[in-house]
């Protein structure tokens, strides 16, 4: 299977997941009413027709902007609350997340690890250079792969260019590893397609002196169901000189923000997903159903998380596909926020 076929499949999967909802939820913006003198009001034919129907075009525009802003705010809240790595590295201020994670798998056993994610500003370098920690974001790597070679756990990020509206951003990156520096570049584009749908695309390329060149493509779509919930689709592709062809993952889920209790926020994310590769043969390694529960408690900088998953996976090329339960428990300390 070619990279183009995998990429096309991801786009069709994502668009197919939200297109019916987008068609129902989209609003048609109407141009604002023309300025008119205080005494003699000059109305266009469209405005006259609108007022005859009891519809004020300016009110429609205001509603359109309100719905768009609410969708954007919800997307940003989900990224911030769940600790999205890319979002943390793009904010203006420093932010670090210290995580203690215990991962239990009924076939692979138990693993406990500590990780640091986020960034620290280096203000003496004109606020354009950051020390970045990739951390341990469950959505960042190819699902189930904790050793994505296109990522470095520690490195520097240099802002090269950013559009005035923030839709486009380009960063030069230098990852640090035992094999030496990993130079690379990262481009990100995000926009609002309509009042309920947001789109994000990012392309990262990095070179490792031992393993050669790698690249990661990400395509995310969010569709707002209400002011507290959204449908999120996430697609990842990793390809390079040492990968098994194109290593991909895709996920569709619903995020629901719970009511704030005693000033602490809570949310749930239920999802289905799959991951696979195109070489040495085209196959799906794992089908996954998961639930991610996250709550802020005791202090506003302390988070607790539980993520049980049911997997239908192949653990080795010669093994049969079997059902497997896994649970991840996380405690997170938010610093410098």
The CA distance from 143 to 248, in Å, is 8
For residue 280, cis peptide bond before it (omega within 30 degrees of 0): yes
- pLDDT at site 15: 44
Nearest to 134, CA basis, from 83, 181, 185: 83
Residue 226 lies in a domain: yes
Full residue range of the structural domain in which residue 8 is found? 3-24+66-335
pLDDT in tens, 237-294: 999 888 888 999 999 999 998 877 778 989 999 999 999 999 888 889 999 999 999 9
- The length of the chain is 337
Residue 256 lies in a domain: yes
Residue 286 lies in a domain: yes
Residue 73: both structure tokens together? 């705010």
Asked if residues 39 and 283 have their Cβ atoms less than 8 Å apart, the reply is no
Residue 229 lies in a domain: yes
Task: Return the exposure string of 3-20: e unless at least 16 CB atoms fall within 10 Å of the residue's CB, then b.
Answer: eeebbeebeebbeebbee
- Residue 174's pLDDT band, with cuts at 50, 70 and 90, is confident
Residue 34 lies in a domain: no
Residue 300 lies in a domain: yes
The CA distance from 247 to 1, in Å, is 11
Who contacts 155 (Cβ-Cβ below 8 Å, separation ≥6)? Answer: 131, 132, 134, 173, 174, 175, 176, 182
Task: Give the count of beta carbons closer than 10 Å to the beta carbon of residue 33.
Answer: 19
Residue 280: strand pairing partners? none
Count of structural domains, the chain: 1
CATH of the domain at 114: 2.40.160
Residue 30 lies in a domain: no
Asked if residues 140 and 134 have their Cβ atoms less than 8 Å apart, the reply is yes
Residue 59 lies in a domain: no
pLDDT in tens, 16-73: 544 444 443 433 343 333 343 333 344 444 444 444 445 555 655 565 565 666 677 7
- pLDDT at site 82: 73
Query: What does pTM read for this prediction?
Result: 0.70
């Amino acid at each position: 299977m070619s990279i183009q076929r995998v990429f096309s499949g991801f786009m069709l999967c994502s668009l197919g997941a939200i297109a019916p909802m987008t068609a129902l939820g989209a609003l048609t913006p109407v141009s604002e009413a023309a300025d008119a003198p205080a005494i003699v009001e000059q109305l266009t034919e469209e405005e006259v027709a609108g007022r005859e129907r009891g519809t004020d075009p300016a009110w429609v525009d205001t509603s359109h902007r309100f719905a768009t802003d609410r969708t954007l705010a919800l997307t940003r809240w989900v990224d911030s609350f769940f600790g999205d790595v890319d979002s943390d590295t793009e904010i203006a201020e420093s932010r670090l997340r210290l995580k203690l994670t215990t991962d239990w798998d009924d076939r692979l056993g138990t693993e406990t690890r500590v990780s640091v994610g986020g960034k620290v500003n280096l203000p003496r370098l004109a606020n354009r250079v950051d020390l970045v920690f990739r951390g341990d974001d469950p959505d960042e790597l190819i699902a189930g792969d904790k050793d994505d070679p296109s990522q470095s756990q520690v490195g520097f990020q240099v802002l090269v260019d950013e559009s005035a509206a923030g839709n486009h951003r380009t960063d030069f990156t230098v990852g640090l590893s035992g094999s030496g520096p990993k130079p690379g570049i990262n481009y990100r584009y995000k926009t609002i397609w309509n009042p309920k749908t947001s789109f994000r695309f990012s392309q990262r390329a990095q070179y490792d002196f031992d393993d050669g060149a790698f690249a990661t493509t990400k395509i995310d779509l969010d569709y707002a169901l209400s002011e507290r919930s959204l449908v999120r689709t996430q697609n990842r592709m990793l390809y390079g000189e040492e990968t098994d062809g194109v290593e991909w993952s895709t996920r569709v889920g619903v995020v629901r923000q719970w009511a704030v209790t005693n000033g602490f926020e809570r949310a749930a994310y239920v999802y289905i997903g799959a991951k696979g590769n195109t070489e040495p043969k085209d196959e799906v390694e794992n089908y996954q159903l998961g639930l991610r529960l996250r709550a802020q408690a005791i202090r506003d900088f302390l988070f607790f998380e539980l993520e049980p998953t049911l997997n239908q996976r192949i653990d080795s090329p010669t093994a049969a596909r079997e059902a497997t339960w896994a649970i991840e428990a996380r405690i997170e300390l938010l610093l410098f926020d």
